[in-house]
Amino acid sequence: MKTILSNEQLLLTIQRLSHQVIENHFPFNDTVFVGLQPRGYFLADRIVAEIQSHYPEKKLSYGKLDITFYRDDAHKGIHVANQTTIDFSIENKNVVLIDDVLYTGRTIRAAMDALVDFGRPAKVELLVLIDRRFNRQLPIQPDYTGKAIDSILSQKVTVDWQKPEVVLY
């Protein structure tokens, strides 16, 4: 087991990612934030809260997207769906899609398929905490990266929001 991000490093990374989004999207008029279920929304909650702490007068559009039935591995057993809560249009908006770990790219592909059900965005950007960059199966790259790591297929990255820390097994 190897710690990738300690509690302090994780907090700094969230601040840095938030500031990068602020630089590119302020004043957020045409920007919406979407956290991916089941784990990406933990990061999304923190990113949106960090941005909101700097601009409390702004009402940020933030939703959570379940991609269970859009996955290409859905035939492998029974999946329990999570709740999607997007109560705004993404039509012609800049969507910042947020997930914890980018691995093969298949989760993000499924998320982009699911997003289309809510409208046609002007642009979709991807924010991830951890980019496992050499394991991609689809040509998907993040726009905002907390930390890029090299790992082998047998390793697993776990984001523990209780401690909080990120570890590689």
d(CA 98, CA 57): 23
pLDDT band of 72, cuts 50, 70, 90: confident
Per-residue confidence (pLDDT) for residue 13, from 0 to 100: 98
- Over the stretch 80-100, which tens digit does the pLDDT of each residue have? 667 888 999 999 999 999 999
* Cα–Cα distance, 114 to 29 (Å, whole number): 23
- 64 Cβ neighbours under 8 A, 6+ residues apart: 34, 35, 36, 37, 41, 44, 82, 83, 84, 85, 86
pTM: 0.92
E strand spans, 23-138 = 31-36, 61-65, 94-102, 123-132
| pLDDT interval class at 75 (50, 70, 90) | low
The closest of 90, 87, 98, 97 to 122, measured between CA atoms, is 90
Structural domains of the chain, ranges and CATH numbers in brackets: 2-73+82-168 (3.40.50.2020)
pLDDT for 79 beyond 70: no
Q: What is the rounded average pLDDT of the residues 46-74?
A: 91
pLDDT band at 1 (very low <50, low <70, confident <90, very high): confident
Banded model confidence at residue 74, pLDDT cuts 50, 70, 90: low
Q: Quick one: how many helices (H) and strands (E) in the chain?
A: 3, 8
What's the token pair of residue 119? 């409208």
